[in-house]
Structure 1
Amino acid sequence: MVKFLDVVVVAAASSALSAVEGFSAGGGRAHRQSWAPASSTRLCAETDAAVDQIAEDMLRRKGGDMDESAAFASFAASQSKVVGDITGSIDDLTLETDEVSTSESGFAVDGKTVRLQGGEAPGGSNVAWLSDLSVEDRLSSLTVFNGPLTDVPHLVSRAAIKDGKVNFFLDIRPRAYGAYDLRDKEGNYPGPEELGRKAFEYSGARKDFDSKFGTEDLVAFLDEMTGKFDGATELPGLDDDGLDEAERATRGPLALAYEMPLSDANVDTINAIREKAASSWLEWSRDDSHSHRPGAPINTQFVHDTKFRINAYGALLGAYVSLFGQSEGERLAASDSGPIDEAYVGGGS
C-alpha cells in the first residue's frame, strides 16, 4: 500500500518541476517556487530533501534545466566571439556566407535555418579552410584545417542539440601519423616487434605532438573541465572497438566525445572548453616556431593532409547522418568540410 506521505512528496515534486519549466529561457537558473498547497502543513526536512531529489531526477529525465533555444543561443554567442577573435588576428582570413538555407529555400534541418560562413587565408597565414556553421537550435560547429606550411593541429569543435540533450565533440588533431588508431584499451601502442622501424617514427610523432600541443597543462585543463560535466555519458573513443574506420583514422589523443543533459552548467563548461581550444589554436597558428622548413617537409605534409581531409569528411558524414538523418547529414557534411581536394593553399614554400 502506498503511503500518503509518498504521494504528497511525488505530487509536490511534480509541482516543483512545473514551476521550474515555467521560467523563460533568458532567466538563467530557475529557482523553486512555493508549490505546497495552502492547506498543507510544513513538511519535515527529510521530506523537503526527498522532494528536491525527486524533482531533480524528473528534470534530468526530461533533459536538463535549459531549453534548446537558450542553449543554442549560448553556443552561438560563444562561437561568434571565437570566430571574431580569429578573423581579427588573421588579416587575410575573410569569411563569406556560403549558405543560408531555410525551409522556404529548399533545405533546412528540422525546419531550422542553416547558416555557414567559410573561408581561407592562403600563403603565410596557412588556413586551408575555416567553417563557422550553425543550425538554429540544433548545431554550433567550428572547423579549421591548416595548410601544409606548419604542423599546427587541425581543430574540430561542435555542440549538437537533440531531444533535450547536447552531443559535444572536440578534437585537436595531430598533423603527423602517430598510430593513434592502433592504441589498445590500456593506452599502449605497438612496438618495433610489430611495426619494425616505423614504431620509432610513430612514437616520435606522438612525442612531438605532446611536447608542442598536447601539453600537461592542456591535458590537465581538459580533465578538470570534463570532470565538471553533470550526468554526462562518454561516447566511444579510440579505445573502443565500435568506433568506425574514418573516426579511428582521424581522431587525436585529446578527442572529447560526450552526451549530456542540457543545463546551464554543462553549456557553460562546453563553451569554456571550446573557447580554450580555439584560443590555443590561434596562439599556435601565430607562432613561427611551428613552421616547416621549405621543401620536403611541406610536400610531405601536403600529401598527408590530402588523405587526412578525405578521411575527416567520412568521419563527419557519419556523425551528421547519425545526428540529422541521411539527406540532411550528407549536405551538412559536404558544406562543413569545405573543398577537400584543396589541402594546399599555396605560398611560402
Structure 2
Amino acid sequence: MQPVIPALLLSAAAAFSPKDAAAPLFAAQQAALAKIQAALPLDAKTYPADLGLDTFTTSNGGAGAMQSWEAPGPANIAWVSDLRIEGPTTVASLTVWCAPLKDVPHLCVRTTATDAGVDVLMDFRPRAAVGYETMLEDGSYPEPDSREAFMNKGNRADLDKRYYDGVRDLCASVGGDAAPAGSLADLKKQAASPVAVDARLPADDASVAKAAALYEPAVDAFLGWCADDQHELKPGMQVTSTYARDTKVRANNYGILADYYGELFGKDEGANIAAGDAGPLDEAYVGGAS
C-alpha cells in the first residue's frame, strides 16, 4: 500500500522557488550570448569589475555576476551587458546597445523571478523618435495632424517593415498580465518599441520555461538585422541625430534601471547594479570605444 502523503506536503514540495529559475534562464542566456560572441568581435570591458559587480552578493542573499563587452567600429556595438543574479530574486538580463552607424534597434531581454511572479521584459528599442509613445490602447495611432505627424507615420511603416513585423508574433507569444508599471512608466514608454513586452507571468516553472525560450529567437532576429547592410546610416545628419537620441535614451535607461533594481535590492545597491548594466554614460560611442 502506498503511503498517504498529506496535501499540504504535496503543495510544499511543488512550491515555486525563484532560485530554481536560475539554471534554465542562465542556460538560455548563455546560449544567446554565445551566438552574439560568435557573430560579433566583442572586446571584454572591466567596467563591472571596477564597480565590484564582476561577482557580488545582493542584500537579500543572492549571488550575482556581470560581464560587459563592446565592439567598436563597423560592428556597431556600443555596449553588451550580461547580468545574472541567483537567489530569492533571480535576474537574467541580456542587453545590447548599438552604436549609431546603423539604425538596428537596441536589444533588451530580461527575466526576473520572485515569489510574486515571473516578470518578462523584452524589447527592440527604436533608434528614432517617431511617435511610438502616442500609440492608443488598440495599437493604432491618432490621425496625423501635422507635417511631423505624417513623417512619423511613414517612418513607423518603414521600421515595421524592416524590423518589427518580423518579431511581432514572438513578442505577442509572451502573454501574461502587465507587469507593475513602477514610478517611471512615462519614461519607459518613451523608449519602448511598438512590440515591447513588459509582462508578469505566474510564479511557476512553466513561466520560467516560456521566458527562457525567448532569448535565442530574440538574438537571432537582432543578429540578422546586424548582418544586413540595408540598415546602415549615411554619415552626417543621420548618424548625428541617431547618436543624440541614443545618448538621451541610454541616460534615461540608467534612471529606469536604478528605479527597477532599487525596488528589488534597495536604493544604493540598485543604483550600482544599474550603473554596471547601463554602461558608462559619459563617453562618446560613435563607432568608437566606450
TM-score, normalisation: structure 1: 0.73
The equivalent of 2:160 in structure 1 is 210
1:169 is displaced (CA, Å) by 1.0
Q: Answer with 254-263 or 337-346: which moved more.
A: 337-346
Residue 292 to residue 337, structure 1, CA distance change in 2 (3 Å): same
1:243 is displaced (CA, Å) by 5.9
The equivalent of 1:289 in structure 2 is 230
Matches within 5 A, 1:121-160: 121-137=71-87, 138-160=90-112
Give the secondary-structure state (helix, strand or coil) at the position aligned to 1:170: strand
Q: Answer with 257-266 or 325-334: which moved more.
A: 257-266
Query: Aligned partners of 1:236, 1:204: CA distance in 2, in Å?
Result: 32
Does the alignment pair 1:303 with 2:247?
Answer: no
Does the alignment pair 1:234 with 2:178?
Answer: yes
Q: Do the aligned partners of 1:236 and 1:242 also contact (CA within 8 Å) in 2?
A: no
Does the alignment pair 1:168 with 2:128?
Answer: no
1:331 is displaced (CA, Å) by 1.2
Q: Do the aligned partners of 1:250 and 1:315 also contact (CA within 8 Å) in 2?
A: no
Q: Answer with 183-192 or 283-292: which moved more.
A: 183-192
Matches within 5 A, 1:178-193: 178-193=130-145
1:124 is displaced (CA, Å) by 0.4
1:323 is displaced (CA, Å) by 2.6
The total of aligned residue pairs comes to: 279
The equivalent of 2:171 in structure 1 is 222
Opposite residue 291 of structure 1, the aligned amino acid is E
Give the secondary-structure state (helix, strand or coil) at the position aligned to 2:44: coil
Opposite residue 245 of structure 1, the aligned amino acid is D
Query: Which ranges of structure 1 fall in alignment gaps of 5 or more residues?
Result: 1-11, 23-29, 31-64
Query: Aligned partners of 1:142, 1:114: CA distance in 2, in Å?
Result: 14
Opposite residue 169 of structure 2, the aligned amino acid is A
Q: Do the aligned partners of 1:236 and 1:243 also contact (CA within 8 Å) in 2?
A: no
Computed over aligned residues only, the root mean square deviation of the Cα atoms, in angstroms, reads: 2.4
Give the secondary-structure state (helix, strand or coil) at the position aligned to 1:189: coil
1:131 is displaced (CA, Å) by 0.3
Q: 1:19 aligns with which of 1, 10, 30?
A: 10
The equivalent of 1:94 in structure 2 is 44
Opposite residue 119 of structure 1, the aligned amino acid is W
Does the alignment pair 1:177 with 2:129?
Answer: yes
Query: Aligned partners of 2:284, 2:154: CA distance in 1, in Å?
Result: 24
Q: Do the aligned partners of 1:128 and 1:342 also contact (CA within 8 Å) in 2?
A: no
Q: Do the aligned partners of 1:87 and 1:94 also contact (CA within 8 Å) in 2?
A: no
The equivalent of 1:58 in structure 2 is none
Does the alignment pair 1:198 with 2:142?
Answer: no
Runs (4 or more) in structure 1 with deviation over 6 Å come to none
1:297 is displaced (CA, Å) by 1.4
Q: 2:275 aligns with which of 334, 337, 345?
A: 334
Deviation track 1:22-48 (CA, whole Å, cap 9, x = no partner) reads 3xxxxxxx6xxxxxxxxxxxxxxxxxx
Q: Return the structure number with greater strand share.
A: 2
Deviation track 1:207-233 (CA, whole Å, cap 9, x = no partner) reads 121101111x4212332x224xxxx42
Does the alignment pair 1:76 with 2:26?
Answer: yes
The equivalent of 2:265 in structure 1 is 324
Residue 327 to residue 265, structure 1, CA distance change in 2 (3 Å): same
Greater relative contact order, per chain length (Cα 8 Å cut-off, separation 6+): 2
Q: Do the aligned partners of 1:127 and 1:345 also contact (CA within 8 Å) in 2?
A: no
Q: Do the aligned partners of 1:128 and 1:146 also contact (CA within 8 Å) in 2?
A: yes
Q: Do the aligned partners of 2:42 and 2:69 also contact (CA within 8 Å) in 1?
A: no
The equivalent of 1:5 in structure 2 is none
1:17 is displaced (CA, Å) by 4.8
Q: Do the aligned partners of 1:309 and 1:343 also contact (CA within 8 Å) in 2?
A: no
1:92 is displaced (CA, Å) by 4.0
Opposite residue 9 of structure 2, the aligned amino acid is S
Query: Aligned partners of 2:284, 2:159: CA distance in 1, in Å?
Result: 20
